[in-house]
Chain A
């Protein structure tokens, strides 16, 4: 199958590559770009651990083809920390024990990033609704919700 040239930004860096049409965005990020923060779980859209932001919207990268991201801006958990400093959300996950085995964490971070960018003061119910799209096999949801609540507080304090 012919390769198709694509050009996209990932975490602020421009990449130009040629991909097979069937290349999933999740595999493209991990295998072609070497960005391993995005995890691959169920590969049919159920678990949410592969969630990334495409033009600001949370999407399942296992349900998008890399060719579809041509011209888009993709953000992954690799890009959350800046200059070796964790983002407020990552820091809150650290402080509140928002991860156990860590497998679901990149997806949780990305759905929570989308939530906090759209809604700086989410209610507990809104946080639960947002993270309910993703599965945590350790069932550590309480601490994940607390982490997102803590991140919202930290970002409010930081904005003052």
Chain B
């Protein structure tokens, strides 16, 4: 239960970090909060030859609003985001979902950038970011680019990050008037990994649903949106019948992978129930 030996690099700036990442590719790994990476190293599931510790890179943990976007630095800790007034105001969905994420000591260290780079399918934040149509800012020593959250997660523990790239910031469109959002999750115990979780955002204008966004956690890959469910909701009054009809499609739309505590059949049922609950809660908040 001890990690394999590695070389340790502690850059003092983002430029130094990106240089180190380029110089040590493909053996170098970014160490942010370490709450997923270090357990995997202790279990020797991964043995990175070089760790690039970005914890002392200044400015990488900032939380700010830029125009119509909430901008979160990759190194922002879960605990800071859970307590942030800016996040509560501009992305209340994230705060609600964060209440289900792990426990205090893990949230004190874990980071949003590290969480999404790890890309666990059971994790809450990939679903939240996909539902919000967030954009992931990534950089390498050579270039900067932006990847939609819906395209960032390509499979379990797999992202669109190329060699030498790291996540630097997450940009989330700020919540608008007429919009309501909710997170619903089923886990064995508070703070455990989700068996299934659902993020729902609806926009209501003139009594009708003009936009709907539904994303699930705990399925075959992180950050999965359910466009069939969303399409079914737009144009309805979001009455109970409309929500029931849309939620019933969720059980068909998901591609669940079985886990120790929940087989695929149960996960389909959870997807339906949690989608209905999340939509009902989002509807009330949109009013």
Contact = CB atoms under 8 A, between A and B. Distances in A.
Interface residues of A, number: 29
A156 interface: no
B266 interface: no
Given A45-B35, A60-B109, A22 B191 contact: no
B109 A132 contact: no
A21 to B, nearest CB: 4
A120 B189 CA distance: 27
A119 B97 CA distance: 23
Contacts of B16: none
Interface residues of B, number: 30
B103 interface: yes
Contact of A45 (B7, B53, B106, B108): B106
Interface string B175-204: 000000000000001110000000000000
A22 B3 contact: yes
Given A130-B104, A132-B103, A44 B109 contact: no
B127 interface: no
A27 B42 CA distance: 12
Interface stretch (A51-59, A73-81, A91-99, A146-154): A51-59
Interface in A87-142: 111, 114, 129-130, 132-133
A43 B1 contact: yes
Given A68-B55, A130-B104, 9 more contacts: A20-B5, A21-B51, A27-B2, A58-B104, A59-B108, A60-B105, A68-B53, A133-B102, A133-B105
27 contacts: A21-B7, A21-B51, A22-B2, A22-B3, A22-B6, A43-B1, A43-B42, A45-B39, A48-B103, A57-B108, A57-B109, A58-B105, A59-B109, A60-B105, A62-B38, A64-B34, A67-B8, A67-B10, A111-B104, A111-B105, A129-B190, A130-B104, A132-B103, A132-B189, A133-B102, A133-B106, A133-B191
